[in-house]
Amino acid sequence: ETGVTQTPRHLVMGMTNKKSLKCEQHLGHNAMYWYKQSAKKPLELMFVYSLEERVENNSVPSRFSPECPNSSHLFLHLHTLQPEDSALYLCASSPSGTPSSSYNEQFFGPGTRLTVL
């Protein structure tokens, strides 16, 4: 148990569906992250939020829309996905995500296994 929870753990959706992934951290951290991990590929950083502001967006397609209403919650809204978007989506948090911060360890949730049909 890392203090970062994700729901749902598994999700199957069609290409025309709209769904959302939820992440919640109970660690009092100020930064939250979304990563994508496709089969046999390294983790890819998608979005970084620091103090509820998006500070990083790694050229992610617009069919992925993040939302960070407060420092404890992070959402990833999904719409009109493609089969190649099937992957493990991981959320992480760290004490700080600002450029001036020193190293901080990231704490990962268990992930949501997404399958797009």
**Contacting positions for other proteins (CB under 8 A):** 2, 4, 31, 33, 42-43, 45, 48, 50, 55-56, 88, 90-92, 94, 96-111, 113
Provide the minimum distance between the beta carbon of 30 and other proteins in the complex, in angstroms, as a whole number.
10
Residue for token pair 């420092």: 71
Least distance from other proteins to the Cβ atom of residue 71, Å: 14
Answer yes or no: are the C-beta atoms of 34 and 46 closer than 8 Å: yes
* 24 vs 56 by CB, closer to other proteins: 56
Minimum CB–partner distance for residue 16 and other proteins (Å): 27
Q: Least distance from C-beta 80 to other proteins, angstroms? A: 26
Strand bridging mode 112-116 / 10-13: parallel
Residue 13 identity: M
Q: Is 80 left (phi over 0), alpha (psi -120 to 50) or beta?
A: left
Q: Which is nearer to other proteins, 79 or 95 (CB)?
A: 95
Distance CA 45, CA 17 (A): 24
Pick the closer one to other proteins by CB: 2 or 71.
2
If the CB atoms of residues 48 and 68 are measured against other proteins, the closer one turns out to be 48
Cα–Cα distance measured from residue 102 to residue 54, given in angstroms and rounded to the nearest whole number: 19
